[in-house]
C-alpha cells in the first residue's frame, strides 16, 4: 500500500488496521522510526512534524516471542483442578511406598542435590586435633538392660528410687529423733507412713529371684568361669596348651623354671596327678565304670555302686564337665548298683546304663529331673535275671517289625544272654542275639564192655565282656567266665565263627584297637594281657608283670603301641616301643584304696582312674615322649609284633 511517509514493519498487514490523524499520526510515526532503529529497520522516508500528512496509512503492532528465564512447577494444586484426583492417588501410593521402606537397611531418607558443581580447594587454619584412647567393658547384664523393653527399664528405675527414698526417710527420722530428744518427734504423718508402706511393698521378692531359672543359669556360668580360672594351669596341661603365668612372679621364677625344664628332659616317664572329680555326694561310693560323651568330649559319665561282701550299695550316676571340675552337672539316682554305662553316638544325650539286678535303662542327660529315664527294662518280660556286665551301642541297619534302626543297644549278662534292645512305641523290647550254654561229655556204661558218650547240658555261661569290630559291626568278640574268647556274627545266633585259645581264668575285658582294626586286647583274672589278631586263634603277644587280677585294659586313642591296665592296687601303662617285657609306668594306689575303673582321655595324653573312695583322678602322662635326652621314635605295631621271636605267623 503506498504511503507518503512512515514505517513498514516486518509483520503482515491485515484488514483490522488502526487509522491515525494529525499530530497523533506524527507521534506514531516518530515512535515507529525509533523502533525501526532499535531493530535495525530501514525507514522509507523520515516524517516531519510540521508537514501535514496528505493521506492516512495503517500500522500493525504484534507480540514478540516469549523467553522463559525461570520456570518452577507449582507444588500446590487447587482441589477444583481437573488432575486433583489423580494427584491424590499418586500421593497416597507414594506414602505407602515410604512407609514400607521404613526400618529397611537399604533405605535412607536424606536430602540430595542433583547438580554437583566443580570441586574447589579451600584452606583454613584450625587448632590441632588430639586423639585420646578410651575403653569400656560391657558386661552381660549391661547388654541385657540395653536391649530390654522400656517398661522393664522404667520398673527397675522406679525400684531403685523407692529403695533410695526408704533409706533416706529412715536416716532422716533417726537424725530428727536424736536431735529433738523426743521419741515421738521422728514419727511421720499418716500419709507419709502409707507412702513408706507402699514403697516397701514394691520391693522385689528376693526368694523368687534366687529361685528363678534365669538367675540359676547366670550363677552356673559365673561358677564355671571362676572354676576354670582357678584350674587354668591344670586344664592347660590336660589339653597341651601353654600355662598363663603371673607377670609379677614371672621374673622371680624364670630361672627356676628353666632349670626344671632342663631336668625334665632326663626324667623317666611318670603319671602326674592333675585334679580329682569328687563331691560330698559321691564320696565313699565305689566307682564301677566311666564313659566319655561321643559328641562332646568334655562330658564324662561316672557310675557308682558296690556289691562286694554281700553289701549291695545304691546306684548313682554323675555327669562331670571339664568346665566345672568341682561339682557335677547332672546327678541321677538308680534303684540298684550301676555296673556299666555307655553314651550313644547317634543320640549323644542318651546314656545306656546296666545294673546289678539285671536292669537296663536309658537316661537323657539333658534333663536333670526324675523324667530323665526314658526307658527301663524292669517292665520287660525278657529282661536279664543276672547282673548286666557291659552295655555297648552299635550302628546297625536292622529291620524289626517294619522299622529301621540306625543304632541299637547290646548288653551281656551273667545269665549267658547277648541281648539287643530297641525302643518301640509300645515300650522297651529286647531280642536275644545269642544264648551261651556249656556242654560236657559224660560216658555212660552199657554193659559187656560197651559205653556211650552223651552231652550233658550244664548251666548257662556268664558273659562278662563284648566289643564290636570297628569296621565290620556285624562281627563281635565276647569273653566268658570260663576264660573263652569267641568271635560271633549277628547273622548267626546258633554257632561261633571262631573260638580263640582260652584264658585259664575269666576274661574281664576286651577292646579293639582304635588305630588297628584287626587287633584287640583281652585281660583276665589269671594276671595276663593277651594281644590278638582277628584271623589268628593264638595270641600274638602276652604281657605279665605281677600275678594279680587284671580288671580292665584300655588302648590309648593317640598312640597305637600304648595301652594301660588296671589292677586292684596299681595301674600300669605299657609302651611297646620301649619294652614288651615290663610296663613303662607303674603307679601304686594309696594303702586301703582299691582301683576299680580306667579310661583314657580323648584328645589328651591323660588317663582317668576311679577307685573305691568315689574319686576319679586325672593323671597326665609325663615325659612319655622323651628318653635319654632325645625324642623317642614312634614305631609301628606290626613292626613290634613281627620283631618278637616266637610270635610271627
Q: Between the ranges 68-72, 197-201, 244-248, 399-403, where is the mean pLDDT highest?
A: 68-72
Say whether pLDDT at 245 is over 90.
no
Q: Which stretch of 101-105, 124-128, 183-187, 442-446 has the lowest confidence by average pLDDT?
A: 183-187
Average pLDDT score over residue span 437-465: 59
Q: How confident is the model at residue 69 (pLDDT cuts 50, 70, 90)?
A: confident
Say whether pLDDT at 255 is over 50.
no
Would you say 335 and 399 are in contact if contact means Cβ atoms under 8 Å apart? no
H or E element: which one contains 91? helix 84-101
Say whether pLDDT at 210 is over 60.
yes
pLDDT at 479: 92
Q: What is the DSSP string of 60-78?
A: ---PPPP--S-----S---
Beta bridge partners of 626: 631
Q: Which stretch of 140-149, 254-263, 475-484, 539-548 has the lowest confidence by average pLDDT?
A: 254-263
Closest CA to 564 of 628, 646, 509, 486: 509
Closest CA to 512 of 556, 555, 574, 559: 555
Say whether pLDDT at 461 is over 90.
no
Q: Which stretch of 91-100, 142-151, 269-278 has the lowest confidence by average pLDDT?
A: 142-151
Average pLDDT score over residue span 578-588: 90
Q: Which residues of 615-635 are buried (b: 16+ CB within 10 A; e: fewer)?
A: bbbbbbbbbbebbeeeeeeeb
Q: Is 164 exposed, middle or buried (0-12, 13-18, 19+ CB in 10 A)?
A: exposed
Cell output for 105: 537397611
Say whether pLDDT at 1 is over 80.
no
Q: How confident is the model at residue 617 (pLDDT cuts 50, 70, 90)?
A: very high
Q: pTM of this prediction?
A: 0.64
CB atoms within 10 A of CB 295: 13
pLDDT at 524: 92
| Better pLDDT: 215 or 529 | 529
**What size, in residues, is the chain?**
649
Closest CA to 330 of 279, 287, 400, 394: 279
pLDDT at 639: 66
pLDDT at 195: 55
Q: Between the ranges 267-276, 295-304, 483-492, 628-637, where is the mean pLDDT highest?
A: 295-304
| Better pLDDT: 5 or 229 | 229
The average confidence (pLDDT) of the chain is: 77
pLDDT at 121: 83
Q: Which residues of 75-103 are buried (b: 16+ CB within 10 A; e: fewer)?
A: eeeeeeeeeeeeeeeeeeeeeeeeeeeee
> Long-range contacts for 435-441 (Cβ within 8 Å, ≥24 apart)?
435/460, 436/460, 436/461, 436/463, 436/478, 436/480, 437/461, 438/482
| Better pLDDT: 112 or 234 | 234
Say whether pLDDT at 381 is over 80.
yes
Residues near 378 by Cβ (< 8 Å), separated by ≥ 6? 359
- 3-state per-residue secondary structure call for 257-306: HHHHHHHHCCCCCEEEEEEEECCCCCCCCCEEEEEECCCCCCEEEEEECC
Q: What is the DSSP letter of 8?
A: -
Say whether pLDDT at 309 is over 50.
yes
Share of the chain above pLDDT 70, in %: 69
pLDDT at 440: 52
pLDDT at 57: 78
Q: What is the pLDDT of residues 389-442, one digit of tens each?
A: 999 999 875 554 445 457 889 999 998 899 999 887 767 888 889 888 765 545
Hunting for cell 586301703 — which residue is that? 592
Query: How far apart, in Å, do the first and last CA atoms of the chain sit?
Result: 142
Rounded to 10°, the helix 232-239/213-230 angle is 70
Instruction: Give the whole-angstrom CA distance, residue 382 versus residue 375.
Output: 14
Please report, for residues 208, 210, 366, 369, the alpha-carbon distance to residue 215 in angstroms, rounded to integers and kept in the order given.
10, 6, 19, 18
Torsion-angle region of residue 103: left (phi > 0), alpha (psi -120 to 50) or beta? left
Closest CA to 307 of 228, 388, 392: 388
Cell output for 485: 574268647
Q: What is the DSSP string of 10-59?
A: SSPP-S---B--HHHHHHHHHHHHHHHHHTT---SB---TTSPPSS--B-
Amino acid at each position: 500500500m503506498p504511503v507518503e511517509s512512515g514505517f513498514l514493519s516486518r509483520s503482515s498487514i491485515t484488514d483490522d488496521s488502526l487509522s491515525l490523524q494529525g499530530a497523533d499520526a506524527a507521534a506514531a510515526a516518530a515512535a515507529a522510526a525509533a523502533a525501526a532503529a532499535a531493530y535495525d529497520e530501514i525507514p522509507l522516508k523520515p516524517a516531519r512534524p510540521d508537514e501535514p500528512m496528505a493521506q492516512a496509512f495503517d500500522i500493525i503492532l504484534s507480540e514478540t516471542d516469549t523467553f522463559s528465564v525461570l520456570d518452577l512447577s507449582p507444588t500446590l494444586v487447587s482441589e477444583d483442578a481437573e488432575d486433583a484426583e489423580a494427584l491424590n492417588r499418586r500421593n497416597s501410593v507414594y506414602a505407602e511406598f515410604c512407609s514400607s521402606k521404613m526400618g529397611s537397611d537399604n533405605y535412607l531418607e536424606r536430602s540430595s542435590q542433583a547438580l554437583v558443581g566443580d570441586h574447589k580447594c579451600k584452606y583454613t587454619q584450625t587448632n590441632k586435633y588430639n586423639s585420646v584412647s578410651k575403653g569400656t567393658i560391657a558386661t552381660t547384664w549391661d547388654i541385657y538392660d540395653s536391649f530390654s523393653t522400656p517398661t522393664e527399664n522404667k520398673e527397675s528405675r522406679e525400684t531403685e528410687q523407692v529403695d533410695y527414698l526408704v533409706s533416706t526417710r529412715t536416716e532422716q527420722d533417726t537424725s530428727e529423733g536424736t536431735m529433738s530428744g523426743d521419741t515421738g518427734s521422728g514419727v511421720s504423718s499418716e500419709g507419709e507412713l502409707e507412702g513408706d508402706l507402699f514403697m516397701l511393698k514394691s520391693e522385689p521378692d528376693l526368694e523368687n529371684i534366687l529361685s528363678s531359672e534365669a538367675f540359676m543359669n547366670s550363677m552356673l556360668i559365673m561358677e564355671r568361669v571362676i572354676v576354670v580360672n582357678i584350674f587354668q594351669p591344670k586344664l592347660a596341661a590336660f589339653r597341651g596348651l601353654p600355662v598363663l603365668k603371673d607377670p609379677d612372679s614371672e621374673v622371680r621364677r624364670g630361672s627356676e623354671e628353666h632349670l626344671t625344664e632342663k631336668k625334665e628332659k632326663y626324667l623317666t616317664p611318670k603319671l602326674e596327678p592333675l585334679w580329682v572329680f569328687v563331691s560330698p555326694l559321691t564320696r565313699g561310693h565305689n566307682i564301677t565304670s566311666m564313659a566319655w560323651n561321643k559328641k562332646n568330649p568334655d562330658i564324662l559319665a561316672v557310675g557308682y555302686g558296690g556289691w562286694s561282701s554281700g553289701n549291695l550299695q545304691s546306684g548313682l550316676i554323675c555327669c562331670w564337665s571339664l568346665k566345672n571340675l568341682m561339682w557335677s552337672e547332672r546327678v541321677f539316682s538308680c534303684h540298684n548298683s550301676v555296673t556299666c554305662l555307655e553314651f550313644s553316638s547317634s543320640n549323644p544325650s542318651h546314656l545306656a546304663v546296666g545294673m546289678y539286678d539285671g536292669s537296663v535303662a536309658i537316661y537323657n542327660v539333658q534333663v536333670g529331673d526324675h523324667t530323665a529315664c526314658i526307658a527301663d527294662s524292669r517292665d520287660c518280660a525278657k529282661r536279664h535275671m543276672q547282673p548286666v556286665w557291659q552295655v555297648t551301642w552299635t550302628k546297625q541297619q536292622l529291620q524289626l517289625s517294619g522299622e529301621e534302626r540306625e543304632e541299637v543297644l547290646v548288653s551281656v549278662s551273667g545269665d549267658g544272654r547277648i541281648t539287643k534292645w530297641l525302643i518301640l512305641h509300645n515300650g522297651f523290647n529286647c531280642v536275644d542275639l545269642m544264648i551261651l550254654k556249656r556242654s560236657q561229655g559224660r560216658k555212660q556204661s552199657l554193659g559187656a564192655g560197651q559205653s556211650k558218650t552223651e552231652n550233658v547240658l550244664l548251666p548257662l555261661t556268664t558273659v562278662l565282656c563284648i566289643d564290636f569290630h570297628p569296621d565290620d559291626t556285624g562281627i563281635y568278640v565276647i569273653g566268658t567266665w570260663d576264660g573263652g574268647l569267641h568271635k560271633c556274627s549277628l547273622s548267626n545266633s546258633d554257632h561261633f565263627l571262631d573260638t580263640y585259645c582260652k584264658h585259664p581264668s575269666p576274661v574281664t575285658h576286651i577292646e579293639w584297637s582304635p588305630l588297628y582294626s584287626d587287633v584287640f586286647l583281652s585281660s583276665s583274672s589269671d594276671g595276663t594281657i593277651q594281644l590278638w589278631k582277628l584271623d589268628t586263634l593264638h595270641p600274638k603277644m602276652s604281657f605279665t608283670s605281677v600275678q594279680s587280677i587284671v580288671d580292665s585294659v584300655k588302648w590309648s586313642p593317640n598312640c597305637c603301641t600304648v595301652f594301660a591296665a588296671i589292677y586292684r592296687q596299681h595301674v600300669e601303662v605299657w609302651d611297646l616301643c620301649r619294652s614288651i617285657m615290663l610296663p613303662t609306668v607303674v603307679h601304686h594306689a594309696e594303702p586301703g584304696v582299691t582301683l576299680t575303673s580306667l579310661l583314657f582321655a580323648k584328645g589328651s595324653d591323660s588317663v582317668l582312674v576311679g577307685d573305691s573312695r568315689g574319686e576319679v583322678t586325672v593323671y597326665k602322662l609325663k615325659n612319655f615322649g622323651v628318653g635319654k635326652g632325645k625324642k623317642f621314635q614312634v614305631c609301628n605295631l606290626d613292626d613290634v609284633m613281627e620283631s618278637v621271636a616266637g610270635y610271627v605267623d
